Amino acid sequence: MPHRLAVYPGTFDPCTNGHMDVIRRGAALFEQLVVACAVNISKTPLFSLEERVDMLKRVTSDLANVRVESFTGMVVDYVRGLNGKVILRGLRTFSDYENEVQMAYANRTFAPEIETVFVCASLDESFISSRLIREAAALDGDISSFVPALVAERLKAKAGALKGEVERHGKGQ
């Protein structure tokens, strides 16, 4: 049975051009792509869930078969709730591979009927991470080539909070 719907889960704190590349590839492969923004209890996001969802909705508004939602709890339960069978993730470097395969195997154990499908994220964006972008934005670095314009604006508006985050890292917190 062909799978028409895929779910691309992530923290998206914030969404980068690398994420956009994965979203575009997913939208071209599946009839419907749900970009699912996670609460993520293992990270302390800079942007609230509402802010992350709002940014994602705006930057994907030109993609007719993409919708943005948020979820709490296990990703497999959320995908099952949508009657989905596919989790989409992007692979950039070898360092992603270990984490991603670990997650894919764990999800397969929880839900054997759900398959994780990987797309190779574009090489141009392979070195970007949301953490690096948050750090550069806090230090007034030009991040405009790494994130959609709207995200760059929102990061600038968060400058104060970003500086606090970098200082906390500096103190090893």
Q: Which residue numbers are catalytic?
A: 19, 43, 92, 130
- Regarding 106 and contact with ligand COA (CB under 6 A), the answer is yes
Angle, CA 139 vertex, CA 137 and CA 140 arms, to 5°: 65
Helix or strand or coil: residue 115? strand
- Regarding 25 and contact with ligand COA (CB under 6 A), the answer is no
CB of 2 to ligand COA, least distance (A): 24
- Regarding 103 and contact with ligand COA (CB under 6 A), the answer is yes
Q: Which of 32, 65, 70, 129 binds ligand COA (CB under 6 A)?
A: 129
The residue range among 4-12, 52-60, 136-144, 154-162 that interacts with ligand COA, by the rule CB under 6 A, is 4-12
Cα dihedral 138, 95, 84, 6 sign: positive
Q: One symbol per residue from 37 to 56: x for binding ligand COA (CB under 6 A), - otherwise; what is it?
A: -x-x----------------
Helix or strand or coil: residue 6? strand
Q: What is each CA distance from 113 to 37, 42, 84, in whole angstroms?
A: 22, 26, 9
90, 9 Cβ separation under 8 angstroms: no
- Regarding 158 and contact with ligand COA (CB under 6 A), the answer is no
Q: Which residues contact 138 (CB under 8 A, 6 or more apart)?
A: 159, 162, 163, 165, 166
Alpha helices, DSSP H, located in 30-93: 49-59, 75-81
- Regarding 84 and contact with ligand COA (CB under 6 A), the answer is no
Q: Which of 6, 11, 85, 147 binds ligand COA (CB under 6 A)?
A: 11
Residues in contact with ligand COA by the rule CB under 6 A: 9-13, 16, 18-19, 21-22, 38, 40, 74-75, 90, 92, 103, 106-107, 121, 125, 128-131
